[in-house]
Amino acid sequence: MTKFNIQKPHQKNISQFQHIINTKTKPLGSLGMLEKIGLQLCMIQNSAKPTIINPQIFVFAADHGIAAEGVSPYPQEVTAQMVYNFMAGGAAINVFCNQNSINLTIIDAGVKHLDISKIPNNGHFISSSQGLGTENFLLKPAMSKTQFDNCIAIGAEIIQKNYTHTNSNVVGFGEMGIGNTSAAAMIMHYITKNKLELCIGRGTGLDNDGLSKKQSILLDAKLNFENNYPTVSPFYYFSGYEMAMICGGMLQAAHNKQTILVDGFIATAAFLMAHTTYPEIIEYAIFCHQSNENGHKLMLKYLKVEPILQLDMRLGEGTGCAMALPIVAASANFIANMASFEQAKVDNIH
């Protein structure tokens, strides 16, 4: 498996950075979470004037064999159709990226019904397919360890190439894939040790009967895994190609000392895999929103982190990252540009 060098940001300047934040022309702590995010940016960049440079969002798309069991109300063809929509500029993530001047790249990690000939050659699409969707994890491992390790390496390579070409210091991760909330629920269950039923949500909109069916299928998958595959890692037994690539991409971003924007339920499941192996990655991560998907709140509680937004979103695509970026940028800008009490010749009101 690809090795990364992820170190906790140096702590030697933390007092200086905190003093700078505290002496801006405002009551102490009055910018709330902006101050916390701002300090984190100072630490990551080791600078008292943090900046946002060429923000990027990568949407990794892939299909999941478990979809054959009816865990989603949508057919697998929708994954490919949404990739076409991303490339045509018609999805929510396109709108929000355009609004906030974020560069968007779409990656085919393993979409089953995708016709590459329909993809415009505009430089915003990467073909890195590892197969026409994963295997059905109700019956067997979704992928092999070799495939999982390859996905980690590919995700890391995509982020590194972009970093080399753009010098971006903020990277967001999104996903698309029918069935991927099932994969994320299983990963969450085995990492956080929450009861499986607490990890399973409605995904793309299951009704009560559909949710009950999904819970039953995933419980059967758990039993099959534990009874018949005792030496296999749940990471590659349940994961999707897109989730593994996101995990690798996040690890590479932390290796590069880039700020990582973490989206919703699936992206956080990928982050959990990264965090299990390299706990220091938490220092580079900003959690953009709390998804309306059932288990996401418990994931964030497990990681002991606070999300920026809570808008009842559950779309994926990296939309939470795009919505949160202006707040992250504001956190950097007030530290870099707001006057101190001394500069403004205002009495310190602390």
Name the residues annotated as catalytic. Answer: 317
User: Strand 125-127 vs strand 285-287: parallel, antiparallel, or unpaired?
Assistant: unpaired
Please enumerate in sequence order all residues whose Cβ is within 8 A of that of 29, keeping only pairs 6 or more positions apart, or say none.
Answer: 35
CB count within 10 Å of CB 9 equals 17
Q: How far is residue 272's CA from residue 282's CA, in Å, rounded to a whole number?
A: 10
Q: From its phi and psi, is residue 194 left (phi > 0), alpha (psi between -120 and 50) or beta?
A: beta
CB count within 10 Å of CB 191 equals 19
Sheet strands side by side (includes 56-62): 125-127, 103-110, 56-62, 170-176, 259-262, 285-287
58: tokens are 């990568």
Q: How far is residue 263's CA from residue 254's CA, in Å, rounded to a whole number?
A: 16
